[in-house]
Amino acid sequence: MGASVGIGGLIIGTTMLVVFSMVVASIDAKVDTSLQTIDSATEALPVFTIDDATLWEGAVVDVQIGSGGSGYVNGTLVSSTGNGGFAGTFTVNVATGAITAVAITSHGNYSSAPTIVVQGQTPTSSASFVVSIGNFIHSNVTNTGSYITPLREAWLFSDGANPTNLGTVFRTGTNNPHWYSGETLHIQWDESGTLPVERFALSVRGVNMASSLA
Amino acid sequence: MADGGASTFILLITALLVSGSVSAVLINQWGDMSSALEENSKGKEADSKTSVSFAGDAMEVDYDDSVSPNVMTFYLQNTGQYVLDEDTLVVMVDGVSVSSSIIATILPGGASWTEIRLLEVEVSSSSWAYQNDDSVSISAVVSSEVTSGYRGTDTMNIEVRLDV
Q: What is the dihedral of CA B77, B81, B83, B88, to 10 degrees?
A: -60
Residue B8 has pLDDT above 70, yes or no: yes
* B60 near A CB under 8 A: yes
pLDDT at B143 over 80: yes
**φ, ψ for residue A13, nearest 5 deg:** -60, -45
Question: Where does a domain end: A101, A117, A134?
Answer: A134
Per-residue confidence band for B149, with pLDDT thresholds at 50, 70 and 90: confident
Task: Check the CA dihedral A176-A177-A182-A187 and report its sign.
Answer: positive
Q: What is the pLDDT of residue B96?
A: 92
How many domains does chain A fold into?
3
Is the pLDDT at B2 greater than 60? The verdict is no
Q: Kindly state whether B151 is in contact with chain A, defined as any CB-CB distance less than 8 angstroms.
A: no
Range in A29-43, B30-44, B86-100, B120-134 with the lowest mean pLDDT:
A29-43
Q: Indicate whether A136 pLDDT > 90.
A: no
Give mean pLDDT, residues B105-128.
90
Nearest chain B residue (CA) to A210:
B57
Contact between chains at A23 and B55 (C-beta distance less than 8 A): no
Question: Tell me, what's the pLDDT at B14?
Answer: 84
pLDDT classification of A23: cutoffs 50, 70, 90: confident
DSSP annotation of A125 reads: B
Whole-structure pTM value: 0.76
Please report the ipTM that was assigned to this predicted complex.
0.78
Given A80, A100, A134, the domain boundary residue is: A134
Residue A26: the pLDDT is 73
Give the distance from CA B78 to its chain's centroid: 13
Please answer whether residues A149 and A141 qualify as being in contact, where contact means their C-beta atoms are separated by less than 8 angstroms.
Answer: no
Residues A108, A169, single domain; the answer is: no
Cβ separation of B57 and A4 shorter than 8 Å? Answer: no
Are A128 and A139 part of one and the same domain?
Answer: no
Q: Which distant-in-sequence residues (6+ apart) come within 8 Å of A70 by Cβ? A: A96, A97, A98, A123, A124, A125
B33-to-A23, A33, A37, B78 alpha-carbon distances in Å: 10, 16, 21, 34
Whole domain around residue A93: which residue ranges?
58-134
pLDDT tens by residue, B20-43 = 888 788 888 888 887 887 788 788
Between residues B105 and A174, the one the model is more confident about? B105
Contacts of A203 (CB under 8 A, 6+ apart): A154, A155, A157, A209, B55, B56, B75, B77
What CATH number matches the domain at B51-163, 2.115.10, 1.10.3470, 3.40.50, 2.60.40?
Answer: 2.60.40
Higher pLDDT: A34 or A99? It is A99
Q: Which of the listed residues A134, A165, A185 is the one where a domain comes to its end?
A: A134
Note whether A72 and A106 are same-domain residues. Answer: yes
Mean pLDDT, to the nearest integer, of A6-35?
75
Residues 6+ apart with CB under 8 A from A162: A156, A191, A192, A193
Q: Are residues A116 and A182 located together in one domain of the fold?
A: no
Do A37 and A76 sit in the same domain of this protein? no
Domain boundaries defined on chain B: 1-48, 51-163
